[in-house]
Structure 1
Amino acid sequence: MFKIVDTLIKRYFSNEEVVVFLLLLVGLVSVLAFWGGILAPILIAIVLAFLLQGLVDRIQLLGLGHVSSVFLVFSTFMMACGVFVSVMVPIIWRQSVRFVQDVPRMFTVLRDEVLAFAEGHSEIVSQSAIDELINSLANESTNLGQWLVSFSLSSIPSLFSVVIYVVLVPLVMFFLLKDQEKISKYLTSWLPKERKMMRNIAHEMNEQIANYIRGKFIEMVVVGVVTYVVFLVFGLKYAELLALLVGLSVLIPYIGAAAVTIPVVLVAFYQYGTQSEFIYVVVAYLIVQALDGNVLVPLLFSEAVNLHPLAIIVAVLFFGGIWGFWGVFFAIPLATLVKAIINAWPSHEQLVS
């Protein structure tokens, strides 16, 4: 047994770069596991800096200096965020309040439709199944109402943390954009001089994650805007709120789209019942989802992320179970990191040579 362990250590851990990289990886995972919530503003700032770095580089190619490019991109981004918050947030808030108030009525309408269907088809639907479904809908309505109330009350103390995010995230993001080269040189100065494996991993990660983050942002905006236009054409209630949820759902592959379909169908059924408009809204929404999955995603991510759908689902479940929301958000980048490490890990022949 000890001989096997000794052989494995000599085969895979005799290289200084491999040992240093494993120590860094274990240290980073430990920090995120224990202090991930505290470091959340830093993580958000890093994501936003990745998102904006491409714009900074393109403006620099036009002849503008680095600092001037950073100031231009940063100020434009902050103004866009300010406009969105001042215009959309009040609308979303009002619709969220009305939606919470209408949820019990939605379940009541659904229950009445189920009862009406059961009365007309008593020969194929048993009374016990109807009673079980009605009780289940009533319990879900009660539980959802209680959860919404408790969630709104528990979110009040977090207003202070929101202020911290508003101040800290832009500040960290600005310095990451402005001093990216200095920060990179400082961090790499602590690493071994011979770090071919780390360079390969860093190169693959930098290219794929940057493209992934920018692609996700574009997908979120496009899907949200198109969904809003579709809902607006049909006059669907809570169009802004539902479009925002649909746009945000693309951050969680497969699972997000399935989850956000429930409120969309529920609101459409509450508003139109069994009329033809209900079918039109659902079909139009499904067409948007199909175009997103079969046209927009391949167009945006054909070169960004080369992962099997099963690997993506496993990554979402695994990292989401470990780190919650942030694990779900970073599931694909983390899965890409694992893939990059496997591809760049030196073989026994490389270590010997």
Structure 2
Amino acid sequence: MDNLFATQRWFLLVVFLVTGFLLYLLGPILSPFLVGALLAYLTDPVADRLELAGFTRTTSVVIVFVILSTLLTLLILLFIPKLSHQIQVMVRQIPAVIALFEEKVIPAIQAYLGEDISFGDLSTLKQLITSHWQKTGDIMAQIAGGITRSGLAVVGWFANLLLIPVVTFYLLRDWDVMIEKIGYLLPRNIEPKVSLWAKESDEVLGSFIKGQLLVMFALGVVYALGLWMIGLDLALLLGMLAGLASIVPYMGFIVGIIASAVAAYMQFHDPIILLWVGAVFAVGQALEGMVLTPLLVGDKIGLHPVAVIFSIMAGGQLFGFVGVLIALPVAAVIMVFLRHLHDGYKKSHLYGSEALELADIPEPVLEQEKNDDEQR
């Protein structure tokens, strides 16, 4: 029996290493497949609910696919051009913001503290930005020109773009079947434990992607609408920026209210507008705490914000864009593995003599203590 376990461990280790090596080698062509897999994972629960409502799997997938395609098309056609324009407006305002900081904010700080404080040579930074901001408007033209000059690049770009919906459709249609077949491939003696780990990984990842990301998107929409209602030109850009920064608790509020306050003052030159900006973000925080987070995330324990940031940066550093796509699933699996490793360590003799007594404690008591620790 011990030889069997040792053989299985070596086999699984070899499979893991070969899979990682193939991901590294095939990284340049994996992007559309990973994006399609991510979209299929996110929309599979919707297709499952349509199946429960009486639709066939294919019909359910077609309905989900049409809705998803419509939303992505509207996003590209309506919001991307507006975001591009607002980025240009923001870049043009940076020198004026630096001048405001240099002429009013710094003297006010110095007068309050009663001594001179040096913030560096801001005039040089302002001149640098003023002389080079025009180049940002030519970036897309330069990229388009470079792509046009390379026929293979055009073909590859369009092929990847067209592959994403095709891969998404077929993966979504066969998602449940693939998961079931993967379960059948596992060795029978370890299949229950691996299935348990996979279920916990799905809960961790799902609570973040299907919960926290929805909260971030909803906050971005709330902030953008609120800033648009008070007349801010950069409402969409600043709202989405605040929503993205909400991946870290309170970071979206801090980043969003500071950037929006500066942009609003530069546009209106009226301190009263700052009160309206504060009201928008106060409403957003209230909605997040009382409605969005309880409704979309609940009491699930997902990935810690710091773990999310580190995993994305580490994945990008190691594997580029493909690493960014697989960072969160890998982080979820590692988190579940570490949790089980921690529980096993506390029940082992390595932790201490008291760990031996845990075997005599009823399982419901251990489960309650685990839930109490997670809530704390």
User: Is residue 95–residue 241 contact of structure 1 (8 Å, CA) maintained in 2?
Assistant: yes
Q: How many residues align?
A: 337
Match of 2:71 among 80, 85, 89: 80
| Corresponding residue number in structure 2 for 1:275 | 271
Q: Does 1:169 align with 2:160?
A: no
| Corresponding residue number in structure 2 for 1:285 | 281
Match of 2:245 among 243, 249, 254: 249
Task: Give 1:56 deviation, angstroms.
Answer: 0.5
Q: Distance in 2 between matches of 1:241 and 1:110?
A: 22
Q: Does 1:138 align with 2:126?
A: yes
Q: Distance in 2 between matches of 1:311 and 1:217?
A: 15
Task: Give 1:78 deviation, angstroms.
Answer: 0.9
Partner amino acid, structure 2, of 1:180: W
Q: Distance in 1 between matches of 2:37 and 2:250?
A: 25
Q: Distance in 2 between matches of 1:255 and 1:314?
A: 18
User: Is residue 33–residue 164 contact of structure 2 (8 Å, CA) maintained in 1?
Assistant: yes
Measured against aligned partners, the alpha-carbon deviations of 1:1-29 in whole angstroms (never above 9, x if no partner) come to xxxxxxxxx99994444334333433444
**TM-score if structure 2 supplies the norm length?**
0.72
Match of 1:203 among 196, 199, 219: 199
**TM-score if structure 1 supplies the norm length?**
0.76
| Corresponding residue number in structure 1 for 2:230 | 234
SS of 2:118's partner is: helix
Q: Distance in 2 between matches of 1:40 and 1:287?
A: 38
Q: Distance in 2 between matches of 1:292 and 1:239?
A: 19
Q: Distance in 1 between matches of 2:64 and 2:231?
A: 36
Partner amino acid, structure 1, of 2:162: V
Q: Distance in 2 between matches of 1:193 and 1:221?
A: 41
User: Is residue 208–residue 303 contact of structure 2 (8 Å, CA) maintained in 1?
Assistant: no
Any unmatched runs of 5+ in structure 1?
1-9
Percentage of identical aligned residues: 23
Task: Give 1:134 deviation, angstroms.
Answer: 2.3
| Corresponding residue number in structure 2 for 1:21 | 12
Partner amino acid, structure 2, of 1:134: L
Measured against aligned partners, the alpha-carbon deviations of 1:222-271 in whole angstroms (never above 9, x if no partner) come to 11221012102221121122223333334x43597366666434423422
Task: Give 1:202 deviation, angstroms.
Answer: 1.5
User: Is residue 209–residue 333 contact of structure 1 (8 Å, CA) maintained in 2?
Assistant: yes
User: Is residue 13–residue 19 contact of structure 1 (8 Å, CA) maintained in 2?
Assistant: no
User: Is residue 227–residue 288 contact of structure 1 (8 Å, CA) maintained in 2?
Assistant: yes
Any unmatched runs of 5+ in structure 2?
148-152, 349-376
- Of residues 206-215 and 287-296 in structure 1, the stretch that sits farther from structure 2 once superposed is 287-296
Task: Give 1:39 deviation, angstroms.
Answer: 1.6
Q: How does 1:172-183 map to 2 (within 5 A)?
A: 172-183=167-178
| Corresponding residue number in structure 2 for 1:60 | 51
Tell me how large the CA RMSD over aligned residues is.
4.0
SS of 1:253's partner is: coil
- Cα distance change on mapping 1:169 and 1:307 into 2, 3 Å: closer
User: Is residue 269–residue 278 contact of structure 1 (8 Å, CA) maintained in 2?
Assistant: yes
Measured against aligned partners, the alpha-carbon deviations of 1:21-79 in whole angstroms (never above 9, x if no partner) come to 33343344444445445322222211111111111011111111111111111112112
Q: Distance in 2 between matches of 1:283 and 1:13?
A: 64
Q: Does 1:121 align with 2:81?
A: no
